[in-house]
Amino acid sequence: MIASNVDSVSFPGDCADVMSEQEVDSMNTKSVRKMSDSEKGRTVIGKADSRYWQQPGKLLLDKRSRFYACKIQVAGRRESFPLRTANKSAAASKAALIFSEVVALGWEAAMAKHKPNAAKPTRPATVGELLAEIQATAGFRLSTFTVYSQSLRQIVSEIAAIGDQPALDENGEPKRDRKKRIIYLSHRAHRGGGREAWLGKVDAQPLDKLTADAVQRWKLAYVARAGTAPDAERRASTTAASLIRNARSLFSEKALRFARETIKLPEPLPFAGVKLGKRQNARYVSKLDAPTIIAQARAELTGVPFQLFVLALLVGLRKREIDTLLWRQVDFVSGQIRIEATEYFQPKSEEAIGTVDLDPETLALLRGWKAQGKGRFVIPSTRPPHFGTSRSYYRCQSQFATLYGWLRAKGVTARKPLHELRKELGAILASSQGIFAAQSVLRHAHISTTAAYYADKKRRITAGLGSLLAGNGGKILEFNPLASEEASLPSGLSRTSKT
């Protein structure tokens, strides 16, 4: 790699030692003035040449040890290097060598060779130091990084037993109420300082606390807190595994590619050796009857909640895709909606980018919304759009809440009612048109995702062997539900006298 003109100076012959630094700087080849004929014949000497470092002021001299040192700046980074010699010529040669290696090998390799004690800190990095480095160098999306960091902090805080922090007075002492009890600030409160105090405590924890033993104990304790009911235990186990997977992503090769060079990581890495076990079966089980709930929505929903319902169940869009959908993404000619990156939306992945076909009736609805609507967004809202925030934000938050309440009243008990509509569409498509059609509409990266989570059996499947029993009426007992119910009642009671 050739040193830039900014890093070089020129001398006429061997008279470099008698030139002042001001004269050297004035001879920068990027100067806007035209060079004279004498200047054009001068020799250019860069920092990779020892003669550059023999100029006055280029080497630093320690008055106590009489040893030289140098400062090197490349690619916006500036570091000082001790040269460990009192001989100026030898020091200049060493400085030129270090500069060449920084340019050719990179900063980290040169630092490890010439300043090994300064290449990495000796103590293990803290949670805060890790997160700061990864956020600066890994290139994660802000929303993704937020999920990962929240998961790590939750695990660390529970392993270290860090909860709500005490409120402090002007002297830094814990505040107390009238009964002399310490006043604590909720670590979930973003106002009042509770969240900041909790974050400071968690971020100061060293990473070497995250041993495999500690994480395993935390996982078992997390599941145990849910109780012994099988369904509660299953949900807690799934949540604990999800938290570990998210936190462990911060120690992936992508996350640590550059952070390894600046912070000291424990060996083995946190979460190494932690077994999550077999994934729980997350296959969607349909509890909806699409024709019925669509008829109910037509009769009972109006305005924005009805629009949200249509785009979720009939089109299969995700919540944020609906919230930020622009009219320019709707192609009325081809009858399609294009999911793409906009100034307000970043798709979940590259595979999430694509088009969704609209049936004629849904397209007609959109034409009507367009005729009545104003503005750029398909779904109107008085809240302004925000993009790039770490916290969840939706323009149509209140309208989503209205739709959620209506769906729960109709028996949709899932934690994410809107996403349940998208799953139902995927199940219908997989059953009627095949798994590949469902993958195309849902825009999954892998067919295995569609098959594992969204495909549900919507048709009755039997072998038809029951028809062979036809004609054997004497061997088949008719089931009378009323008689069965009365048989289960206490003696002396009938169905009519049950109450």
For residue 493, what are its two tokens? 């009671």
Beta-bridge partners for 264: none
For residue 192, what are its two tokens? 């009042």
pLDDT of residue 99: 95
For residue 459, what are its two tokens? 């048709």
336-339/354-357 β-pairing = antiparallel
Nearest alpha carbon to residue 158 among 170, 166, 150, 167: 150
C-alpha distances out from residue 386 to 339, 345, 377, Å = 18, 9, 13
pLDDT of residue 17: 38
* pTM flag (> 0.75): no
Beta-bridge partners for 81: 70
**61 Cβ neighbours under 8 A, 6+ residues apart:** 67, 68, 69
Beta-bridge partners for 206: 126
Distance CA 459, CA 464 (A): 14
Nearest alpha carbon to residue 307 among 204, 177, 421: 421
Distance CA 423, CA 453 (A): 8
Judge whether 162 and 201 are in contact, CB under 8 Å: yes
- What is the DSSP secondary structure assignment for residue 276, as one 8-state letter? -
pLDDT of residue 415: 86
Helix or strand or coil: residue 10?
A: strand
One-letter amino acid of 340: E
Distance CA 84, CA 66 (A): 9
- What is the mean pLDDT of each successive set of 10 residues along the chain, which is 499 residues long? 40 37 41 46 80 92 86 88 92 95 89 74 85 92 91 96 90 88 88 89 95 94 93 90 95 91 88 79 78 94 95 93 95 94 86 89 94 90 80 89 95 89 88 84 80 62 65 53 51 46
pLDDT of residue 94: 95
Q: Residue 279: is it exposed, middle or buried by C-beta count within 10 angstroms (0-12/13-18/19+)? A: exposed
68-74/77-82 β-pairing = antiparallel
One-letter amino acid of 487: A
